[in-house]
Amino acid sequence: MTLDRRNFMKATLGGSLAVGAAVALAPGDAQARANKQMPPKALGLLFDSTLCIGCKSCVKSCKEANGMPAEFSTQDRLWDTPLDISGKTLNVIKYYAEGTADHKDQEKDGYAFVKKSCLHCVDPSCVSACPVAAMTKNPETGIVGYDPDICIGCRYCVGACPFGVPRFQYDTATPRIQKCQLCKHRLPEGKFAACAEVCPTGATLFGPVELLKAEAKRRLEIEAGSLAVYPRGNIEAPYPSHEKPAPAYLKRIYGEKEIGGTQMLMLSGVAFAKLGYPDLPEQSYSSKSETLQGTLYGGMILPLVALGGLAWATKRTVGSHSDEKGE
């Protein structure tokens, strides 16, 4: 009673071979899906860490604009003190400090502030992961929005986001995902993102991503120490701007290329990895995942062919065995 290995391999690997071949061919296949492109009128933010003074006005205004509850991290529970974004907080300012922490925007013996909120990826992992399209990317504004009435609460988006942005509520029987939606509910009222609206230094600037990108490039070309003009609020209709000497920027716009680009762009004097923003490849993870799925299941062709073969094989063997029906 030894097993005919050749026969077995032929059959067992029938199904898995198809998977294997498809996986092996996946990169560069006809089904391959490239990174998605940003809509031309996409809206976003430009966060300039060197302008941020850590006043946290944006944290407060975000809570008000979005009706989010306070979150306490001190014993006396006197005021809203969120330590991170969460099911109750969509936006925080974090603090980087090293050594003596004497110099602003300096990696060694320096300090810096950084904004943590949704980056509104051009090709978001959360949208690709969501099984029911509760997480969506607006085709015009590019804002990544969330609809709790559709959401099943699987938290695939929470795990998938490379920036750890979507957060879940673990302390209620009716939990939701929470994330920044760029104040999309305020746009029809002619208002814009609350965080940018209140920012006193223009560290958080709202507007069309194309304009913000041009503004970021302009700043990177200013010589460190020379006087520069900084707009505040909405780049299309700015509040009175202010002047100050330009800092020594890192020559990099974070979000320009990372996993296919993001609609929140960032400038900094300190390496982004130190501020909690990892170095990421240009290919989006959603395109990788969807290319694989598309290769295996595109038009359901492979599965149907496999089903045909399997049905043929079983039709041939079913009933031919003496042990059938427990006999």
Q: For the segment 127-186, give every residue that binds other proteins (CB under 8 A).
A: 127-133, 148-156, 158-160, 162, 164, 167-176
290 sits near other proteins (criterion: CB under 8 A): yes
78 sits near other proteins (criterion: CB under 8 A): no
CA distance 277 to 172: 30
Q: Shortest gap between Cβ of 114 and other proteins (angstroms)?
A: 13
Q: Shortest gap between Cβ of 209 and other proteins (angstroms)?
A: 23
Please list every residue from 18 through 37 that binds other proteins, using CB under 8 A. Answer: 19-20, 23, 26-27
- How far does Cα 172 stand from its chain's mean position? 25
Single out the residue of 198, 191, 193 nearest to residue 181, CA to CA.
193
Please list every residue from 97 through 126 that binds other proteins, using CB under 8 A. Answer: 125
Q: Shortest gap between Cβ of 140 and other proteins (angstroms)?
A: 19
Tokens of 196: 């940018």
CA distance 104 to 108: 10
Please list every residue from 1 through 20 that binds other proteins, using CB under 8 A. Answer: 1-3, 5, 7-8, 10-12, 14-16, 19-20
Beta bridge partners of 112: 96
Q: Shortest gap between Cβ of 87 and other proteins (angstroms)?
A: 8
95 sits near other proteins (criterion: CB under 8 A): no
Each residue of 88-117: b (16+ CB within 10 Å) or e?
Answer: bbbbbbeebebeeeeebbbbeebbbbbbbb
SS3 240: strand
Q: Shortest gap between Cβ of 290 and other proteins (angstroms)?
A: 5
With vertex at residue 80, the alpha carbon angle to CA 78 and CA 81, rounded to the nearest 5 degrees, is 100
